[in-house]
Amino acid sequence: MEHRAYWATKQLNMDLNAAGEKRLLQLNELDEFRMEAYENAKLYKERTKKWHDMHIQRRVFEVGQQVLLYNSRLKLFPGKLRSLWSGHYTVTKVLPYGAIQVSHENKVTLIVNGQRLKHYWGGDFSNQKSTVQLEKPE
């Protein structure tokens, strides 16, 4: 087997030292491509994180403020016009690391993540339905 490999190398007039150097250069080039891909991935992740952090809404809650709570369970029920935000709650305590203690009118107290809350700026509204009769234009 070795004899045939030597014969093939001699027949093709191949220099083993030059082939070995070429192979080392190819391996070094492969390492450079790998490092470049690693750097590109790192830059992409940094830019994506910067864009994401820029679009996060910073919400600061104080005791006594009115807030709405995101109710993720409503996603299970169909209805594209259904609001995913439930009733207005009152902030009773601001805990460390973004946790907020809220209470409802019926004395239910919850501790929730601050990202599930948003400020409630509206006043009370009537839940009664009203109808308006439209007349046909002439």
CATH code reported for the domain at 66-119: 2.30.30.140
Compute φ and ψ for 19, nearest 5 degrees.
-65, -40
Q: What is the reported pLDDT for 94?
A: 94
pLDDT digits (tens, 9 = 90+) for 31-71: 999 999 999 999 999 999 999 989 887 888 999 999 999 88
Lowest mean pLDDT among 29-33, 69-73, 129-133: 129-133
Note the pLDDT tens digit of each residue in 89-118.
Answer: 999 999 998 899 999 888 889 999 988 899
DSSP class of residue 114 equals: G
Q: What pLDDT score was predicted for residue 117?
A: 92
3-state percent helix, strand, coil for the chain, nearest multiple of 5 = 45, 20, 35
Model pTM score: 0.52
